Amino acid sequence: DPITTPDIISSCQESTSGFEQKGALRTGKCCPPNLEKTIQLFEFPSKLEKTRKRWPAHKGSKKQVDSYKKAIQAIRHLPDDHPHSFVSQAKIHCAYCNGGYTETGFPDKEIEVHNSWLFFPFHRWYLYFYERILRKYSGDDDFALPYWNWDNPEGMKIPQIFLEDGKQNPLYDEYRNPDHLPKVVNLTFSTDDYLLDDPAKQIACNLGVVYRDLTSNATNSEAFFGGKYTAYPGDPNNPDKRSAGSVETSHNAVHVWVGQAKNPTSSPNGEDMGNFYSAAYDPLFYVHHTNVDRMWKLWKDLGTAGHSEPTDDDWLNASYVFYDENENLVRVYNKDSVNIDKLKFDYEESKTLWKNSRP
């Protein structure tokens, strides 16, 4: 059976998995506010709604950047227990990834959307609602999220809009690794960094990683999306094979690279980006994920045989529950995440040098 997020209100519990609680810089109390709403079925945006294009964060127009900062500032000013608040949005990730929810009837089976075929669709939905919420607070009908264009040499550093103006900047986060702020991201980073000190070499290495993630290491849906994850107890003849898809692995590297170096007293979990429970407190989280989501589109657009979504019913019918921009609770299914035309968002084009960068 498909993984089915229960009613996220009554079933939610404190998150305690996957992070060190002692000295943690953020909280594991991640359950969403209860507005006593019943869950509605998702409806696609109207066919008449315009498609907005997400833009590379290193080259947004003044209007794009201003609207984005304005919206983030506005949700930071909402009370924490508002479902649209900066904190509530950050806690969604913590609840879904660190044990906030369990499978209906199996309180010891925590739902975890990473390291499996839920990775791409879950995050696509998360961003979908986040973008519509921010659009509302931006007051800009053209609002679309930026993407951190780490597959393009010109976009491989943390985008400047996240670094300028210090603490006044709504995109500022104090829990980032200061050594990495001015550097080219390392798409194979792990805690024991070998540091390619030459940015040109790092760029070449990154392009090779993206090439492999979208081609040679992603020749079928399992390799790209990750391994099967279904509701307990599953089918003994066709058991779960949870594993990370090709892009998820380099995605993890970016998380750890942005977050602080782990330190038992000052940052036991590599906060913020270095652990799922705290990652979404950094606005960079969302623009990292828009680019991850863009990789899904680019992989499909390559048009290679095998480049298509899983067709298993247990993938198609897996579902999650979110608050939408009108504070309604909505249940959404993987199958409805596939067609971004119907979801009315797209990506501005950007250079794809990785296509010529077979390692």
Catalytic positions, please?
Answer: 93, 114, 123, 251, 255, 276, 289
Between 74 and 284, CB nearer to ligand C2O: 284
Q: How far is CA 137 from CA 48, 75, 77, 162, 189, in A?
A: 22, 7, 11, 19, 35
Nearer to ligand C2O, 124 or 157 (CB): 124
List beta partners, residue 30. none
Provide the binding-site residues for ligand C2O, judged by CB under 6 A. 93, 97, 114, 123, 251, 255, 276, 279, 289
- Are the C-beta atoms of 334 and 318 separated by less than 8 Å? yes
Quick one: 211 or 257, whose CB is closer to ligand C2O?
A: 257
Q: Which amino acid is at 192?
A: D
Please state, in angstroms and rounded to a whole number, the distance separating the CA atoms of residues 333 and 316: 7
Residue (137 or 148) nearer to ligand C2O, CB: 148
* CB closer to ligand C2O, 124 vs 251: 251
Give yes or no for a contact between 52 and 341, defined as CB atoms under 8 angstroms apart: no
Residue 110: CB minimum distance to ligand C2O, A? 14
The total of other beta-carbon atoms located within 10 Å of residue 198's CB is 11
| Selection from 332, 336, 340, 357 nearest residue 300 by Cα | 340
Give min distance, CB of 123 to ligand C2O, in A.
6
The alpha-helical segments, DSSP class H, found in the chain are 62-77, 86-97, 119-138, 199-214, 221-225, 246-258, 276-279, 284-301, 313-316, 340-343
Q: What six digits make up the tokens of 261?
A: 């170096």
Residue 258 CB coordination number (10 Å): 27
Q: How far apart are CA 75 and CA 86, in angstroms?
A: 5
Give min distance, CB of 292 to ligand C2O, in A.
7
Min. distance of Cβ 168 from ligand C2O in angstroms? 27
In the complex, minimum distance from the CB of residue 93 to ligand C2O, in angstroms, rounded to a whole number: 6
